[in-house]
Amino acid sequence: MTAGRMVAACTIAGSDSGGGAGIQADLKTFVELGVFGLTVVTAVTAQNTREVRATWPLPPEAVRAQIETVADGFAIGAWKTGMLGNAATVRAVAEGLPEGALPVIDPVMVSTSGHRLLEEDAISDLVEILIPRATVVTPNIPEAEVLAGMKITGIEDMAEAGRRILDLGAGAVVVKGGHLQDGEAVDILVERDGEVQVSGERYPYAVHGSGCCFSAALTAYLARGVALREGFCAAREFIDTAIRRAVGDPGGVRVVNPGGRIFHRY
């Protein structure tokens, strides 16, 4: 943070008891990028890297009250949404975000372990009332397929899906290509005046929390006043490092490591 001015960002998402994704991953990322992190908790989950055992969504009025309270107390440079859970929460977020907000919408639908994190009947609300407010939407391949209504098998499909999601009213779209199986991992930023592709190394292990971490990094850069294209490239570099330094069982799913710190096993 710069002296004399607090740069703040707010994450609206679920709590991950395993610490690898959700609110916890977002806050770690904000701290690493010099941004003061605020939170709006949408749900409590009992999860680790292997499974989500249970979820308890908060009432929509509790979600909206959190949004309005932090907005009244802080100058928030950018907002990020993650797990919203249901249609009532989607509507509470769309209604609670202040005018002029810069929302990064990560349309979290299913966990890494396959647990549904957004009820199916909430997708229409996401599309109709929240995505049109987005500064940028950051779907992975399965999420982009749902939002765009098409199958994605390659980079050209990713770009087309991005254009279709842009037509839903979003300011811009980042389609994350980590789910494609071949070659480097490619992410595409689609704007109305063009597209930018950034590729990185594909690592031979699954990582929990990478989507949250990338979107949080992009949110942090936007909060700091960085332009979207520059922020996209910087966030892509940040998440590549966080995945390379992921921690956990080498034989299983690792946890994204935004700080890049070494965690010792005793």
- pLDDT at 40 (0 to 100): 98
Nearest to 242 by CA among 195, 197, 185: 185
Q: For residues 248 and 255, what is the distance between their CA atoms, to the nearest angstrom? A: 6
Count of structural domains, the chain: 1
Q: Quick one: pLDDT band at residue 251, thresholds 50, 70, 90?
A: low
pLDDT by residue (tens digit) across 188-239?
Answer: 999 999 999 998 888 888 889 999 999 999 999 999 999 999 999 999 999 9
- pLDDT at 232 (0 to 100): 98
Is residue 37 a part of any domain in this protein? Answer: yes
Between residues 49 and 170, the one the model is more confident about:
170
Q: For residues 155 and 168, what is the distance between their CA atoms, to the nearest angstrom? A: 20
- pLDDT at 261 (0 to 100): 66
Q: For residues 96 and 63, what is the distance between their CA atoms, to the nearest angstrom? A: 9
Find the largest Cα–Cα distance for the chain: 52
pLDDT by residue (tens digit) across 21-39?
Answer: 999 999 999 999 999 999 9
Pairing of strands 136-137, 103-105: parallel
Is residue 136 a part of any domain in this protein? Answer: yes
Q: Count how many Cα atoms sit within 13 Å of the Cα of residue 85 in the half-sphere of its side chain.
A: 22
* Average pLDDT of the segment spanning 127-144: 96
Is residue 3 a part of any domain in this protein? Answer: no
Is residue 261 a part of any domain in this protein? Answer: no
Is residue 250 a part of any domain in this protein? Answer: yes
Domain with 76 in it: 8-255
Is residue 157 a part of any domain in this protein? Answer: yes
Task: Give me the chain's average pLDDT, please.
Answer: 91
192 — phi, psi (to 5°)?
-70, -20
* Average pLDDT of the segment spanning 12-17: 96
**Integer-rounded Cα radius of gyration of the chain:** 17
Q: Quick one: pLDDT band at residue 262, thresholds 50, 70, 90?
A: low
Q: For residues 149 and 124, what is the distance between their CA atoms, to the nearest angstrom? A: 12
- pLDDT at 99 (0 to 100): 94
Is residue 264 a part of any domain in this protein? Answer: no
CATH number of the structural domain spanning residue 59: 3.40.1190.20
Is residue 265 a part of any domain in this protein? Answer: no
What's the predicted TM-score (pTM) here? 0.93
